[in-house]
Each structure stands twice: as structure tokens, then as C-alpha cells.
Chains A and B, each alone.
Chain A
Amino acid sequence: MATFGQNVEATIPALRRYARALTRDSDIADDLVQDTLVRALRSEHLFHGGEIRSWLYTILTNLNRNRLRSLARRPTLSPLEDNDAPDSAGPEGGGRDIERALATLVEDQRNALLLVVLEGLSYREVAEVQGVPIGTVMSRLARARVQIKNYLDGERPALRRVK
């Protein structure tokens, strides 16, 4: 049987993928993953079996929410934030469009969509990660897809609606 550590380790590549898509910045993404791992190792006593993967996605999702909130409170970026433009540009032309489209999504919708289509989580798992009923996950997905379609179709991004 795999140990806790082995299970966590096996999830790291997927966590990096999810974080990259969430933040669209490889440095910030890896920082998020690093903090997630530190949290996970420290909170290990809170974990008594079950889906380690969902648990790690939950921690990462929450840490990213905190990050976005503190950025929102303080829009100035760190002056030392040298960006990594070459990396974030992406090789394929279509990549930029979907990247920008994702950026227009409300956070909860983006999280739900990425967890389902990129990370392959089930609706039930996403509901656990987001701490909401499955129906809410489904409506977030539906709205995310409408928004992305509108964006890619060249419509003006819809105003973000606060629930």
C-alpha cells in the first residue's frame, strides 16, 4: 500500500498543471504548489485516509483564493515581479485564446471547469473540493462554458455577476 507521502508525491505533476492553469504564471503556480505541499505535510494529522488527491486540490484551490483576495485588496504587484513571459506565451497559437478566455471567468467557475476538464475530477469530487452541492458545480460549469464560448466568439466579455 502506498504511503501518504507516495500518494502526495504522485499528485505533484497534476497539481502543477492545475496551478499553472489557475494562475497562468509558472512561478506563481509552483509557489502555490509548494505552499500546498507544506500545508499538506503539516496538516497530515487532519487527514485520515480518503482521497488524498481531492484533499490536495482543495488546499491548492483555497490557497489560490486567498492569493486572489489579497491581490484584490492590494492591486499593486510586487515591484520585483519579473515576469516569465517566454513561458506564459505558450507554443501554440490557440493556447493564448483559451488562456485569455479562462482569465475572464469568475473564480469559482474557472476552478470547477479546470477540475473537471483538465484534472478529470468527477462532479462529486469537485463538489467536495468546492464545498458546494453537485447542482452548484453543474451550474458553474454551464456558465463557464457559455462565457468561454462568448469570449471565443468575439463577444464582449459579459459583466461578472456577483452571486
Chain B
Amino acid sequence: MIERDSPVTEEELHAYVDGELPADRQEAVAAWLAAHPDHATLVAGWRAQADSIRARYGAVASEPVPERLKLAQVLRQGRSAGRRWLAYAAAASVAAFLIGGTAGWVARGASAAAPSNFDAITADALEAYKLYVVEVRHPVEVPGSERTHMTQWLSKRLDSELRIPDLQSIGLKLVGGRLLPGPTGAAAFYMYEGASGERFTIYCAKAATPETALRFKEGQRFAAFYWVDDKVAYAVSGPADRDRLEQVAKTVYEQVDKTGARKS
């Protein structure tokens, strides 16, 4: 695009647009561009691209930050009566850090590099919910009456110490469970039923991500809370009644979290 022996390189043109050019080269490039209208047009085009990008997304930074993304909220999630109950551990480690913290950081982003199969797990969980929740005769492989056997069986297949939550206190009876193929191996699936026949399911699979915040997804008829704790992903799905589902998810979270707490 630019002839070999040109006094200005294409790299310099980019640096010029991005304000990366050393001061002593800026004038030279500007003068060169004045004499080379084709390249001046090209450069103007790059600037226009940048302007469009800023026009399209720039205002996002001026939007009010949603509650869930405020740091206090991220730190407080555990305590609040809100939607997330994770991060006790995070808050504790932060408190420890705020006291210390100095010179030169290493392992930049190392913890973010772990591959995540969270999206796939969530999609599987919802498919399983939709598939089995309408099943009247054979919704489960193992009936809820064989809870102990089921716990051992599924724990063995997932190679992870599972706990099947008891949701009697909020009016849900364990219908039973089944083993499902998950994105990275076996997944455990439990179904619960309420007095009026409403069904909730819990889907557990091993996750590559050690932990995530709690998420909520809502469709027209179904909704789900999902999170990863101690390398196990959980998706609690049910009818799209957020308050009820939140109550169920919270109860599940409290019970499975005991497992996590004991391990760590």
C-alpha cells in the first residue's frame, strides 16, 4: 500500500491515528499526508471507524452501574436478601488483601485463563428440565425413596461428593433422579414436585470454572438460577415464578454449600 522507500510507514499511520507517534514524527507524518491525499483519505476512514465505535458504545460508560455490578454488592452478595449468596469467601480474601498489597503484580489474569464450560452446562440443564418435567410416567430413573442409593451412585459417576438437597421444608418432595450425559461427562439431575404438581429440577455437573456468581435466566415459561461452587455447576430450573424459584435456589444453595465448606 505504501511504497517501500516511503519516508512514512503504514505502521506510523496507525500510530499517528492512535496518538502513539513520538512527538518528533507527528509533524512529518502530517506533512506527508497533506501531500498524499489517498493515504489521507485512508487515515480519515480509520478515524471515522473509531468515531463510529465510540458513538455506538461510548455512552455505556455513562450509564448508571446496575446494582449487581456495584462492588459493595459483589462483596455483600452473601449477606443480602438479594439474589446472590456466593462470595463470602471472596469477601474474606478481599478483606485480607486490603490490609496488605504492594509492589509489582504477577500472574496477570492467570486465574481467568481456566476454560469454562458453564454455558454448555446451563444449556444442557434447561434442555433436561424441559424434556423431563413434562414426563408423567418416567420422569426419573431412581425414585426419591432411594435417596441414599442415588447419592452414592451419582457421586460415583460424577466423581464428586454430591448431596441431594432436602426441600421438604419449602414443600417440595424429591421425585427422584437420573444420570444424564453432560458436556464434559456425567451430569446428575434431580426432580422435585410441589403440592400442586409444579416441578423443579436441579442439574449438577463438574465445571472447569471453580466458582461464579449466581445468575438468573428467565424465559416465557421457565426460569433458572445457576452458579458454580467448588467446581460443580448447579442449575435450578422451574416455572417462571421468580420469587418461588429464588426460594428454591437459595435453599439448594445453602445445602450444597455445606458440602463445599466442609471440603475447603
Q: Which residue of A lies closest to B97 (CB)?
A: A44
Contacts of A4 in B (CB 8 A): 94, 97-98, 101
If A43-B111, A79-B123, A79-B219 touch, does A142 touch B55 (CB 8 Å cutoff)?
A: no
If A48-B105, A63-B116, A118-B57 touch, does A16 touch B111 (CB 8 Å cutoff)?
A: no
Contacts of B113 in A (CB 8 A): 62
Q: Are A58 and B52 in contact (CB-based, < 8 A)? A: no
Give the docked Cα–Cα distance between A140 and B104 (Å). 28
Q: Are A3 and B98 in contact (CB-based, < 8 A)? A: yes
Give the docked Cα–Cα distance between A39 and B86 (Å). 12
Residue B261, interface by CB 8 Å: no
Q: Are B97 and A118 in contact (CB-based, < 8 A)? A: no
Of B26-34, B58-66, B143-151, B193-201, the one with at least 4 CB within 8 A of chain A: B58-66
User: Which of the residues B74, B114, B119 comes within 8 Å of A37, measured between beta carbons?
Assistant: B74
Q: Are A58 and B108 in contact (CB-based, < 8 A)? A: yes
Count, chain B residues at interface, CB 8 A: 76
If A13-B62, A37-B74, A117-B18 touch, does A78 touch B126 (CB 8 Å cutoff)?
A: yes
Chain B at the A interface: SS class: helix
Q: Are B104 and A50 in contact (CB-based, < 8 A)? A: yes
Residue A156, interface by CB 8 Å: no
Residue B223, interface by CB 8 Å: yes
Q: Which residue of A lies closest to B94 (CB)?
A: A41
If A16-B61, A138-B11 touch, does A80 touch B119 (CB 8 Å cutoff)?
A: no
Residue B45, interface by CB 8 Å: yes
Q: Are A5 and B71 in contact (CB-based, < 8 A)? A: yes
Contacts of B222 in A (CB 8 A): 79-80
Q: Are A81 and B217 in contact (CB-based, < 8 A)? A: yes
Q: Are A62 and B109 in contact (CB-based, < 8 A)? A: yes
Residue B212, interface by CB 8 Å: yes
If A5-B98, A80-B217 touch, does A13 touch B63 (CB 8 Å cutoff)?
A: yes
Chain A at the B interface: SS class: helix
Q: How far is the CB of B214 from chain A (nearest CB, A)?
A: 9
Which A residues between 80 and 111 are near B, CB-CB below 8 angstroms? 80-82, 90, 92, 94-95, 97-99, 101-102
Q: Are B71 and A37 in contact (CB-based, < 8 A)? A: yes
Q: Are A63 and B112 in contact (CB-based, < 8 A)? A: yes
Q: Are A59 and B66 in contact (CB-based, < 8 A)? A: no
Q: Mark B212-234, 1 if CB is under 8 A from A, else 0.
A: 11010111101110000000000
Q: Are A35 and B218 in contact (CB-based, < 8 A)? A: no
Q: How far is the CB of A54 from chain B (nearest CB, A)?
A: 8
Known: A49-B104, A82-B217. 16 other contacts (CB 8 A): A13-B62, A17-B60, A35-B213, A36-B112, A38-B213, A48-B105, A60-B112, A62-B113, A69-B116, A74-B119, A74-B183, A80-B217, A98-B55, A114-B53, A142-B11, A149-B46
Mind listing 25 A-B residue pairs with CB under 8 Å? A4-B94, A4-B98, A12-B65, A16-B63, A17-B60, A17-B61, A20-B60, A30-B66, A34-B213, A38-B213, A39-B112, A41-B74, A42-B90, A46-B105, A48-B104, A50-B104, A54-B108, A78-B119, A79-B219, A80-B222, A82-B219, A92-B56, A99-B56, A113-B53, A149-B46
Which 6 residue pairs across A and B have the least CB separation, nearest first? A58-B109, A80-B219, A62-B112, A117-B50, A44-B97, A98-B52
